[in-house]
Amino acid sequence: MRVYNFSPGPSMLPLPVLERAAAEMTDANGSGQSVMEMSHRSGEFEAIIERTEALLRELMGIPANYRVLFLQGGASLQFSMVPLNLGAAEPGQPAKKAVYIDTGVWAKKAAEEGAKFLDALVPASSGDRAYSYIPEAPPPEPGCAYYHITLNNTIVGTRWASLPETGGVPLVADISSCALSEPLDVSRFGLLYAGAQKNLGPAGLTLVVIREDLIGRAASGTPALLRYDVHADAGSRYNTPPCYGIYIMGLVLEWIKKTGGAEAMGKRNREKADLLYTYLEGSRLFRSPVERAFRSLMNIPFVPAEGDGARRKEIEARFAGEAAAAGLVNLAGHRLVGGMRASVYNAMPIEGVRELAGFMKKFEANYV
């Protein structure tokens, strides 16, 4: 029996995708071979990667003047690739500046990595209130290379409800935990990046969507594998790409298209999130630590409403254990913040969220 998997990533995949991948494991598209056995330069795989990109462009509404790259290294490698390609200065030249808005662990790590290559300005942070909100984002200084945000903060459960105004400075966003969860105007951004393992596919594949005029700006000493222009010129096959991950992403995108696209996903995701937030608003045992205006649709943390540290840990441990026994798994919060967290990505059906809300009500009735 399959469980309802609320993991923040790697997350659950749509069951129809898994079933199709299983059926095609030894013979993909009539090729007589698994995608895991295909040459990345073969005609069979070329059809797969081209189909995946075409679906992505259609579903995300990616303009023609943007390139789609399928890379490796996760979003964490993009913390380095972004400054190396958009803001690194040539040897002997003064450091360039870039803006980072600090809204949580991953946003902070992105800024820390960026600071190794340029002057990373952090003019706003929500760390003063445990990252429970999105701070007001000031305009960038003139001449900044880019303006970086983390659109959805997986660990603390916040999201940008509106985008900052950056003038002519390219807006860069980590969309790892909200890609295709609702419509997004790609033209507002210079660059988008995402680890696939939350909404798009399995771990090991990284998506980059970059405006063409931002390609080719890397400093001369940048290693080839860390240059966007190298990957763009080679059609994401400068080296062997994560072929099976690209194939699975293609199946996920087909599933998203069949189920209504980004707009329908957004509607369903709001319904799922509303179920849990409505329960939390009326609960005596649990509460949301996130300010209402900034609550994520994808990652919903909750904590015991009262009690000392020992009492809270007791509640959290008992809740996670009993939930797992009921087939509701991976509800423990991130190790850095504790509490509980339900990640309700695209593949999580509303039935799973209803099961969780019902379990939480029963748990509270037995505990309070």
Beta carbons of 186 and 171 less than 8 angstroms apart: no
Active site residues: 106, 174, 198
Q: At 71, list the tokens.
A: 């890379």
Q: What is the pLDDT of residue 311?
A: 81
Dist CA 270 CA 264 (whole Å): 10
Q: Which residues pair with 98 in a beta bridge?
A: 120
Describe the strand order of the beta sheet including 286-287 as a list of residue ranges: 286-287, 299-304, 340-343
- pLDDT 10s digits, 79-90: 999 999 999 877
DSSP 8-state class, residue 181: S
The yes-or-no verdict on residue 16 having pLDDT over 80 is yes
- pLDDT 10s digits, 24-46: 999 998 999 999 999 999 999 99
- pLDDT 10s digits, 234-283: 999 999 999 999 999 999 999 999 999 999 999 999 999 999 999 999 99
- 3 state SS of 283: coil
Q: What is the pLDDT of residue 333?
A: 81
Q: What is the pLDDT of residue 309?
A: 75
DSSP 8-state class, residue 134: P
Which amino acid belongs to residue 359?
A: F
Q: What is the pLDDT of residue 308?
A: 67
- pLDDT 10s digits, 49-91: 999 999 999 999 999 999 999 999 999 999 999 999 999 877 7
Q: How far is CA 321 from the centre of its chain?
A: 27
Q: At 53, list the tokens.
A: 């990109």
The yes-or-no verdict on residue 142 having pLDDT over 90 is no
Q: What is the pLDDT of residue 368?
A: 61
Beta carbons of 44 and 28 less than 8 angstroms apart: yes
Average pLDDT over residues 11-36: 95
The yes-or-no verdict on residue 20 having pLDDT over 80 is yes
Alpha helices by DSSP H, listed for the chain, are 15-23, 43-60, 74-86, 105-114, 228-233, 243-258, 261-282, 309-325, 350-367
Name which residue leads in pLDDT, 171 or 310: 171
Q: What is the pLDDT of residue 92?
A: 75
Average pLDDT over residues 178-183: 97
- pLDDT 10s digits, 337-360: 778 999 999 999 999 999 999 999
From the CB of residue 298, how many other CB atoms can be counted at a distance below 10 Å?
A: 28
Q: At 183, list the tokens.
A: 């419509």
Does residue 10 have a cis peptide bond before it, meaning omega lies within 30 degrees of 0? yes
- pLDDT 10s digits, 281-336: 999 999 999 999 999 999 999 999 876 678 888 888 899 999 999 999 999 887 77
Phi, psi of 362 (to 5 degrees): -65, -45
Domains detected in the chain: 4-10+261-367 (3.90.1150.10), 15-258 (3.40.640.10)
